[in-house]
Amino acid sequence: MATTTNLLFLMFTTTLLLANGDPQVPCYFIFGDSLMDNGNNNHLLTEAKVDFPPYGIDFADGPTGRFSNGRNSADVIAQLLGFDNFIPPFATAKGGDILNGVNYASGAAGIRDETAQHLGGRISMDKQIVNHLFTILQLTFLIGKGSIVETQKYLNKCLYTVEMGNNDYINNYFVPKYYTTSSVYTPEQYADLLIEQYSRQLQDLYKTGARMFGIFPAGYLGCTPAIMTEFGMNTCVDSVNSAIALFNSRLNTTLNDLNQKLLDAKFILIDGSIEYPNGKLCCFCSGLAQWY
């Protein structure tokens, strides 16, 4: 199964809290949208830009381009893994900065290239993968002494988290004013289309050396204030949540298929909505125990 368990969560988080010394992995690479972005949109011409107050009001460095008041999920994962510093955004990472990993996430990014184009600049998943290739080229000379084989051995030990799909719905499928996808595809067809492309993208990362994947499902966006306002409702929008459920179900199946196909890799669905005896916890690191 791609989903995680309570026991693995407790074992892994305990290990992390007690761990001292080197990080649990040599490097951590992050792909995603605004939930993970930590500054890649700052210099883009886009409405999806947050390098100003009140964003960052609870963050030591102030507004940095994080779509939050403080740390985001990628920051917390990096800390739990034992990194001394947050993983730098691709936009500003340079030299030895990339040895511990790079954050490629971009606010408004989607699996599909055209997603959120009405908002302006953003870095889609395909473009994030291209940016990762540039990083690998740099790593080849930093640690591989020009050897791609040695560099891939290094990357095999690194963690990759990917969080995509949200904008393909809220800034594409459910915005018929700008996109035709909802009139061309049924929710089932659109989910299939997204997952087919997403699977190819994950396999592209595998080909570059990635072996340990933590994949976030799309959120139930029908309960967000923006979507409820868009639909003129004061409760969750069931049609949106149903479409998301189709995507997540297919994503889980696809990750299981990839685990069967790519036997030297591990794809884990990071389910942040699992209920534990002490209440609902964010379990984004729980599945990582399966790698150690």
Stretches where the chain sits below pLDDT 70 are 1-21, 144, 272-292
Tokens of 83: 């990194």
pLDDT for the residue numbered 146: 75
pLDDT for the residue numbered 167: 98
Q: Are the beta carbons of 10 and 281 closer than 8 angstroms? A: no
pLDDT for the residue numbered 117: 98
Q: What letter does residue 268 receive in the DSSP assignment? A: E
pLDDT for the residue numbered 148: 87
pLDDT for the residue numbered 17: 47
Nearest to 196 by CA among 174, 171, 165, 218: 165
What is the number of other CB atoms lying within 10 angstroms of the CB of residue 160?
26
d(CA 32, CA 161): 8
Containing 134, the helix (H) or strand (E) segment is helix 125-142
pLDDT for the residue numbered 283: 36
d(CA 32, CA 91): 14
pLDDT for the residue numbered 114: 98
Report which residue type is found at 167: N
pLDDT for the residue numbered 6: 38
Nearest to 265 by CA among 175, 156, 190, 133: 156
Whole-angstrom CA distances from 54 to 48, 64, 66, 67, 254 are 15, 11, 11, 10, 39
**Domains of the chain, start order:** 6-291 (3.40.50)
